[in-house]
């Protein structure tokens, strides 16, 4: 047991039906009917293979697509083909989550066989609006359809979906109330790596925070500075722009308009409070870049034209961040430094990621855009650990107990009482 949660080492799987919740949510190219990335699918393969090798009858539960807009949902049929190729063994698939077809497929499994059920988010009880509106307790989640229909067919539940551990949904938190439960190898590894990052990182420890997920980013910023995990925080993207605006610096009308239209104006006051307490450890951009007639322009902070929209950190900032990263012993990165999808505004992000690949520091990258940047700049093999989680990772770093962690601990406690 680790962190109060059972691991795969604590059960015998031969002949047992195991419900295994994974996160294989990947960007889909609908025009070609292909997956644009297989990062998360590859990450959960070790757990699936281990369960199968040990004689389990493996039933995979997973989701695909945004859980706010139904139109973004997509079948998991594509994922089955990728899993089958990576595992080197058959993976059955059924276009059902917990109805008669799914139940019959589960009952028909033989030892070592693997079955992937259809996208759980086709069910209303697995959607975010259901989660946010009803706020079911974990005990109540155990009474939802997916748990009531599938749990009686299973002997064990394994959660390997760390990337979804911030979600409070039945397929993630309900089964632990009624089945012996454990975390998978990916979940265990990510939990260990991030815990070590927070508790005892090699010094100096540098956090690099960018991107546009503001609410979580500022919670994390407060936590790592207050708790002492971060010796310094390098800022870019919308995070950096808000901090600069809080300091009274010009970031351009376009940038300010975006902040207020996106209802992020309140974070300028939050940023002021952080700068008052931690200015000595928060590193702000010293120059910014924008586009003028399609060409990149840069200026020092203090000389930024009032009518522009800043889209990247400038060259001097990028070079300073490179030096600070290369002089660190631990580096954690979440979020790009600007709009890295286009060549004219990718300099800051590209410089930071190349520095990550070159430094001798222990490096950790997390979040969807960060994983995309890692791949784009060819640094996948040079980063020590790439965390599949985005929202879950950030929530963990804010000090919040993740719903799935709480559920798995509850399941472990129930087992200990037996």
What per-residue confidence (pLDDT) applies to 372?
Answer: 86
What per-residue confidence (pLDDT) applies to 211?
Answer: 86
pLDDT higher than threshold 80 for residue 25: yes
Reported as a pLDDT band with limits 50, 70 and 90, residue 199 is confident
What per-residue confidence (pLDDT) applies to 396?
Answer: 84
What per-residue confidence (pLDDT) applies to 10?
Answer: 95
63-122 pLDDT, tens digit per residue, is 998 755 556 789 999 999 999 999 999 999 999 999 999 999 999 999 999 999 999 999
Average pLDDT value over all residues in the chain:
92
pLDDT higher than threshold 80 for residue 346: yes
Q: Output the furthest CA–CA distance in the chain (Å, rounded).
A: 70
Reported as a pLDDT band with limits 50, 70 and 90, residue 30 is confident
Question: Which value, in Å, is the radius of gyration of the alpha carbons in the chain?
Answer: 23
What is the distance between the alpha carbons of residues 235 and 241, in angstroms, rounded to a whole number?
Answer: 9
Q: Is 157 helix (H, G, I), strand (E, B) or coil?
A: strand
233-279 pLDDT, tens digit per residue, is 999 999 999 999 999 999 999 999 999 999 999 999 999 999 999 99
147-176 pLDDT, tens digit per residue, is 999 999 999 999 999 989 999 999 999 999
For 294-355, the three-class secondary structure string (H helix, E strand, C coil) is CEEEEEECCCCCCCCCCCEECHHHHHHHHHHHHCCCEEEEECCCCCCCCHHHCHHHHHHHHH
What per-residue confidence (pLDDT) applies to 300?
Answer: 96
What per-residue confidence (pLDDT) applies to 146?
Answer: 97
What per-residue confidence (pLDDT) applies to 277?
Answer: 96
What per-residue confidence (pLDDT) applies to 68?
Answer: 57
Reported as a pLDDT band with limits 50, 70 and 90, residue 132 is confident
What per-residue confidence (pLDDT) applies to 63?
Answer: 95
What per-residue confidence (pLDDT) applies to 69?
Answer: 52
What per-residue confidence (pLDDT) applies to 415?
Answer: 61
């Amino acid at each position: 047991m680790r962190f109060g949660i059972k691991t795969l080492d604590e059960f015998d799987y031969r002949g047992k039906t195991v419900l295994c919740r994974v996160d294989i949510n990947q960007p889909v190219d609908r025009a070609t009917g292909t997956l644009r990335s297989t990062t998360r699918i590859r990450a959960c393969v070790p757990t699936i293979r281990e369960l199968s090798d040990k004689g389990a009858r493996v039933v995979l539960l997973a989701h695909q697509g945004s859980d706010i807009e139904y139109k973004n949902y997509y079948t998991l049929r594509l994922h089955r083909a990728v899993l089958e190729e990576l595992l080197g063994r058959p993976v059955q698939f059924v276009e059902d989550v917990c109805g008669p077809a799914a139940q019959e497929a589960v009952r028909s499994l033989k030892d070592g066989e693997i079955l992937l059920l259809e996208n759980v988010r086709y069910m209303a009880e697995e959607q975010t609006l259901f989660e946010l509106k009803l706020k079911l307790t974990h005990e109540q989640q155990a009474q939802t359809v997916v748990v009531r229909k599938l749990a009686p067919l299973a002997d064990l539940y394994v959660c390997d979906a760390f990337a979804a551990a911030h979600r409070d949904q039945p397929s993630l938190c309900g089964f632990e109330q009624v089945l012996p439960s454990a975390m998978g190898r990916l979940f265990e590894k990510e939990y260990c790596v991030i815990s070590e990052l927070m508790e005892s990182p090699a010094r100096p420890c540098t956090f690099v925070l960018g991107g546009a997920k503001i609410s979580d980013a500022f919670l994390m910023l407060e936590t790592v500075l207050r708790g002492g995990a971060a010796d310094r925080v390098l800022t870019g993207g919308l995070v950096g722009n808000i901090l600069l605006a809080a300091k009274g610096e010009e970031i351009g009308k376009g940038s300010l308009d975006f902040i207020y239209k996106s209802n992020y104006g309140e974070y300028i006051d939050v940023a002021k409070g952080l700068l008052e307490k931690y200015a000595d450890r928060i590193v702000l951009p010293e120059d910014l870049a924008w586009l003028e007639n399609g060409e990149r322009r840069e200026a020092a902070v203090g000389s930024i034209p009032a009518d522009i929209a800043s889209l990247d950190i400038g060259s001097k900032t990028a070079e300073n961040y490179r030096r600070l990263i290369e002089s660190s012993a631990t580096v954690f990165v979440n979020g790009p430094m600007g709009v890295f999808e286009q060549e004219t505004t990718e300099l800051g992000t590209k410089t930071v990621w190349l520095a990550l690949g070159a430094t001798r520091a222990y490096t950790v990258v997390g979040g969807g855009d960060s994983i995309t940047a890692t791949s784009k700049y060819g640094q996948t093999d040079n980063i020590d650990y790439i965390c599949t989680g985005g929202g879950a990772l950030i929530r963990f770093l804010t000090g919040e107990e993740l719903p799935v962690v709480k559920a798995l601990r509850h399941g472990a406690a129930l087992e200990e009482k037996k």
